[in-house]
Homo-oligomer: A and B are copies of this chain.
Amino acid sequence: MSSKISVKGEESFDAVCEAKHPGRPRCPVAHQNILKAARELVEEGGFDCLTIEGIAARAGVGKTTVYRRWPNKASIVMDAFFEEVSSRTSFPDTGSAREDIRLQMRQFVAELNGPLGCKISLLLANGQFDEEMAEAFRARWIEPRRSEAQLVIKRGIERGEIRREVDVDVLVDALYGPVYFRLLGEHAPLTETFADTLVEIVMSGLEG
């Protein structure tokens, strides 16, 4: 299942692909090749080795084919990185809210320590230069994770494990914010211990 996030002035690929249009249908192989090329180029030489011409060349595709489908480099990157990633989220249920949260945070930290980490930081950074990108990143990455966390927290509140008055939104950011901060700032390591300690610090005092 592909993206639901629309990108600037461009019908979604699926919409174009599946609908009964007149005209030659867009080649679905090209779509995959372009995204694959984009991923490879970023992996090989960093974010600014990523040129449209380079992508097109490696994908064995004309530049126009790229431009026909994506309005800018950023949205290619979004699609390239979130093709499969988006869906896999974690929603543990150990019976203890704090434990659930700790597991979630641990997994999140582990994820960011892997190959995904640098991509996420790049995407978050890129969003500062391109509101479109930022929007897409929020919708496809940040929000899904915030929702999960909110669910776990709300479950904790209902069970009476977490105090009723707690502002859930702020709590979520108190948990996730520091992780993103270390990811971007690189002023301190993103360890499992950090996750644990962070949960301890934030959650202590919130329990009913």
Contacts and interface: CB of A to CB of B under 8 A. Distances in A.
A182 interface: yes
* Tally of this chain's copies: 4
B178 A173 contact: yes
Interface of chain A, helix or strand or loop or mixed? helix
A25 B77 CA distance: 32
Contacts of A134: 186
A127 interface: yes
Categorize the interface residue count of chain A: 35 or more
Nearest to A184: B124
Interface in A122-160: 122, 124-129, 134, 138, 142-143, 146
A77 to B, nearest CB: 13
Contact of A128 (B121, B138, B171, B197): B121
Interface stretch (A1-9, A78-86, A198-206): A198-206
Interface stretch (A10-18, A33-41, A108-116, A162-170): A162-170
A171 B201 contact: yes
A176 B173 CA distance: 11
A191 to B, nearest CB: 10
A57 interface: no
Contacts of A170: 178, 194, 197-198, 201
User: Top 7 A-B pairs ranked by shortest CB distance?
Assistant: A205-B205, A177-B178, A204-B205, A177-B181, A125-B128, A125-B125, A177-B177
6 contacts: A138-B185, A170-B194, A176-B181, A201-B205, A204-B206, A205-B205
Given A125-B126, A167-B197, 12 more contacts: A47-B129, A48-B129, A124-B128, A124-B185, A125-B127, A143-B187, A146-B187, A167-B201, A170-B178, A173-B182, A202-B202, A205-B205
